[in-house]
Amino acid sequence: MKIMIGIPFGRTMDYQAVQSLLQLANLRGPNEYVFALVSNSLVYDAREKITQLFLESECEFLFFLDSDMTFHPQTVDLLVRHNLQFVTAKAFKRVAPFMPCFYTRARYENGQPDLQVPIEYGAGLLPIEGAGLACALIRRDVFEQLESPYFFPLPNMGEDLAFCLKLQEAGVLMYADTTVTCGHITSFEVFEEHFQAHRDAAKATGQPLEESR
């Protein structure tokens, strides 16, 4: 099976992200990977160009990966095995309290996003209403259900969640695989344990866990 790895990025990529890509390129598994990197572009425009390349290819899945993410070389295979229209690995914000980048509620009302972040979740497939596209796998038939342009931001909402609103309207079910995690590069790599530490500290002190803006 052919899978496209689509990466929108600026002039450079973090070396840790490049290392992850090299490990994936050297993986000898059941799937074949095609890489599409689009640089020096607005993110939503880069995603649009990557999607056009994907639709012109013979690939069955598109895995969007941000240029500041690290991942295990088997990440894509683990997501593909579900054969879902949309599934994301876990990713977390780069700033404390390192909240998840996937949402059990993702709406847009009166020009403002209405988002609910899951603070507690089990291991497995979690139904969601939206997610960032830092490490998200999308099946080809999703785009066949939509009209282009696929990616365009709304006021106060990025192109990734705006895309998820389109998926909701089209009846596409979205999931987060909470057994698969990607690292988010800042001055260090942000993983689930960073979020959990802040969550548990907030619970212990009775303070609300608020997302940084």
Strand 183-185 relative to strand 189-190, pairing: antiparallel
Question: CA–CA distance from 109 to each of 163, 175, 184, 210 (Å)?
Answer: 15, 22, 29, 21
What CATH number is attached to the domain comprising 118?
3.90.550.40
What pLDDT score was predicted for residue 210? 79
Contact by Cβ (8 Å): 201, 162: no
Q: Which domain holds residue 159?
A: 2-205
How much is the pLDDT for 176? Answer: 99
How many domains are contained in the chain?
Answer: 1
Question: Does any domain span residue 212?
Answer: no
Judge whether 200 lies within some domain: yes
State how far the Cα of 206 lies from the Cα of 213, in Å rounded to an integer.
21
pLDDT by 10-residue block (mean), the chain, 213 residues: 93 82 81 90 93 98 95 94 98 95 97 96 98 98 96 97 98 99 89 93 88 65
211 lies in a domain? no
Say what the pLDDT of residue 213 is: 56
In a domain, 97, yes or no: yes
This prediction has a pTM of 0.89
H or E element in which residue 102 lies: strand 102-103
Cα–Cα dist 76/26, whole Å: 13
pLDDT at 212: 64
Residue 28 falls inside a structural domain: yes
Q: Is residue 213 part of a domain?
A: no
Question: Does residue 145 sit within a domain?
Answer: yes
Cα–Cα distance, 8 to 42 (Å, whole number):
9
